Structure 1
Amino acid sequence: MHKYSMLLISKNYLMELVKMLKAEYKAEGGKLIKVQMTKRGNKIDSIKITGDFFMHPEDLIDELEKALLGCLLNEDVIVETIERFIKDRGAVLLGAAPEDFAKCIIKAGGGDG
């Protein structure tokens, strides 16, 4: 096998491993949640959460994303992680609930929770 062939196989393998997963979910109140993430096995490897919901203070969304890294792709575990984060930080979430975020994350991860 040529060096170029090995490189191509490796690149394709790595691209498959780090495929960007995306989902959108509309919360009951009408607010939209968008998730872009990668996973490793059945855990969150990287995640970006956007949408028209509100979290106060606003800069906590970045910290929430960090808190979700390594989290098992299970709806109950994700809800518990988000609820604990909100309580510990004294954050206020408006327009969406932790369950809405979990549903969007599970949808992006390709599972049903």
Structure 2
Amino acid sequence: MTRRGEFKTPGGKLIAVELDVDDGILRNVVVTGDFFLYPEEALVLIVGALEGSPATLAAEEYATQVRTALGNDVELLGSSPEAVAAAVVRALQSDEPGGFDS
């Protein structure tokens, strides 16, 4: 079952995350939104930081994984690793396929 979560950074951009949970592990992670990422190719780093993670982590742990993966050479404009993590947590908390909690 694909789950979806969204988070809009106050005064910033929207992050949306779609994912599956298989045996307690995040799978098929897709990150979209109206944020800016430089270089654009770094989106695979965000997905890679989340793919295969336990579905039981706290938001702070997901944020740390994303921040570490992006390092200092990638700019996430209009959003943050914390916003990505919030979208992940909302996806995990959603009860409906394709749904999200506001």
| TM-score (normalizing by structure 1) | 0.73
Out of 42, 48, 67, the residue aligned to residue 66 of structure 1 is: 48
8 Å CA contact 1:71–1:77 kept in 2: the answer is: no
Cα distance in 2 for partners of 1:30, 1:99 equals 13
Name the SS of the counterpart of 2:93 in structure 1. coil
1:62 is displaced (CA, Å) by 2.1
8 Å CA contact 1:72–1:78 kept in 2: the answer is: no
1:29 is displaced (CA, Å) by 2.2
Q: How does 1:39-50 map to 2 (within 5 A)?
A: 39-50=21-32
Q: Please provide the CA RMSD for this pair.
A: 1.6
**5+ residue gaps, structure 2:** 95-102
Cα distance in 1 for partners of 2:48, 2:69 equals 11
Q: How many residues align?
A: 92
Task: After the TM superposition, list the runs of 4 or more consecutive aligned residues in structure 1 that deviate by more than 6 angstroms.
Answer: none
| TM-score (normalizing by structure 2) | 0.80
Q: Sequence identity of aligned pairs in percent?
A: 27
1:28 is displaced (CA, Å) by 1.4
**1:6-46 deviations in whole A, cap 9, x for unaligned?**
xxxxxxxxxxxxx0101221111231111111012433112
Cα distance in 2 for partners of 1:86, 1:63 equals 6
Q: How does 1:32-111 map to 2 (within 5 A)?
A: 32-73=14-55, 74=57, 75-87=59-71, 90-110=73-93
Cα distance in 1 for partners of 2:45, 2:83 equals 18
1:31 matched to 2:5: no
Name the SS of the counterpart of 1:72 in structure 2. coil
Larger RCO of the pair (alpha carbons < 8 Å, separation 6+): 2
**5+ residue gaps, structure 1:** 1-18
